[in-house]
Amino acid sequence: MPTKSEPSVDAGGLRQTLQEAFDSGRTAEADWRRQQLKGLIRLVEENEKQLIDAMVADLGKPRFDAWLTDLLTTRDEARHALRHLDDWMRPRRHPVPVVTFPSTAWTETQPIGVTLIIAPWNYPVQLLLSPLVGALAAGCCALLKPSELAPATAAVVAELVPRYIDPEAVKVIEGGVDVTTALLEQQWDHILFTGSTRVGQVVMEAASRHLTPVTLELGGKSPTVVAADADLKVAAKRIAWAKYLNAGQTCIAPDYVLVERSVQDDFTDRLVDELTRLRDKAEPTSIVNANHVRRLEGLLDGHGGEELLPRKTDHASRTMAPVIVREPDPASPLMQEEIFGPLLPVLGVDSVDDAIAFVRARPRPLALYLFSSSSETERRVLDRTIAGSVCVNHLVYQVAAPSLPFGGVGPSGMGAYHGKAGFDAFSHTKSVMRRPTRGDVPFMYPPFPPVVQKVMRLLTRWPLR
């Protein structure tokens, strides 16, 4: 039996097996890429019940939510890549300056190599297999590391992947922190990690030892701004839904709301009504484990605000009813830490400009949401805030569009995937120039005669087309 200091996985052996598959050259072929993407689509479609059963066992997810947020999004991501693969792989011609004439130039993509994808527990299928779509489309080999906090889902994925996808080119490894640590000691050609900012720093530090490029999908506190001219009924309904989804355990969930004071009471009343309806009628999702329940309960202590909905936690099922906290202390842990649960602070601001200033004074978020009927307000918020993504008059849905890049900025992440952004993340774009050998005139080599210098200066005045 391995000791605590000895990982239960031969990380180097796995890495070498994948390298051999990559070195065979087959993964670079367009037909191989298409077959793997089709296999991934079949995996999701043919094993819907088994995958959903596993997510219910791990997280107590409502079955429809599991299908909508994990399976549908993964399938659509793979379908989008399959549809656009030929275009993404096509070489692109580039203009050349006069000084290089006669020449032609282009860029072409090639798979970056053997990659590592580390997924979290909150969307255990989507956040493992959607990044794999980009890797397969790019022609890469991949080692998938699902979260040990969703063990049933990890086991099902580990069983299914080799049945539908080239088992020598894509592998799944289960295990805990010791396994992840051993994997990070290896040299990969790219690492994509989804998780907390704290662990993202560990991943980036490990990758830096090998100068390995990383895509980090982290988190942070995603704000929602409600302007006075917003449709308050719709805003309250949509914010309540987004916070209730997966019990708030979503990296792009609304973390807090900034609402103009002139409509704060009206909006807050509507939000209380909507969350009360969800508390009473909608099927809840469990908090992932008892430690996270205790963490969330701790965030409710000492926040300095007013709780507008009563606390209600079932420790046996690890379910926690949503709680609205009005006007918490901005310095409290509730307003300093990513909540990742069904707690929603609501703060009043005098104007949208004050909301912008509040957001700008804090770390750049993974997502930002705005409710307003004014195109001018929309433009002002877009221009003056920096966030990984923005959704106007709704929440979360931007991640469901396969053609939109998904990624953070600053502490909320770096790099992006989904659609072509995922293909690009796992590809190297190679620049190529070709010049003929015929007509190799001597005056193009030093020493350059004065007349040649004069002609070159004249010709290079024209811009590239």
- Give the residue numbers annotated as catalytic, written as ranges: 217, 251
Which residue matches tokens 């097996």?
Answer: 17
Strands 389-392, 367-371: parallel, antiparallel or unpaired by DSSP? parallel
For the chain, give the longest Cα–Cα distance: 88
Give the residue among 250, 247, 186 at the shortest CA–CA distance from 219: 250
Q: Is the peptide bond before 447 cis (omega within 30 degrees of 0)?
A: yes
Rg (CA), the chain: 26
Which residue matches tokens 């890495």?
Answer: 15
> Coil, strand, or helix at residue 341?
coil
Q: What gap in Å lies between CA 182 and CA 197, rounded to an integer?
A: 20
Give the residue among 135, 138, 123 at the shortest CA–CA distance from 191: 135
Alpha-helical regions (H) of 286-360: 290-299, 333-336, 352-360
The answer to whether 246 and 61 have CB atoms below 8 angstroms apart is yes
Tell me the DSSP string of 428-457.
EEEEEEE--STT--GGGSSSPPHHHHHHHH
Two structure tokens written together for 433: 């120039």
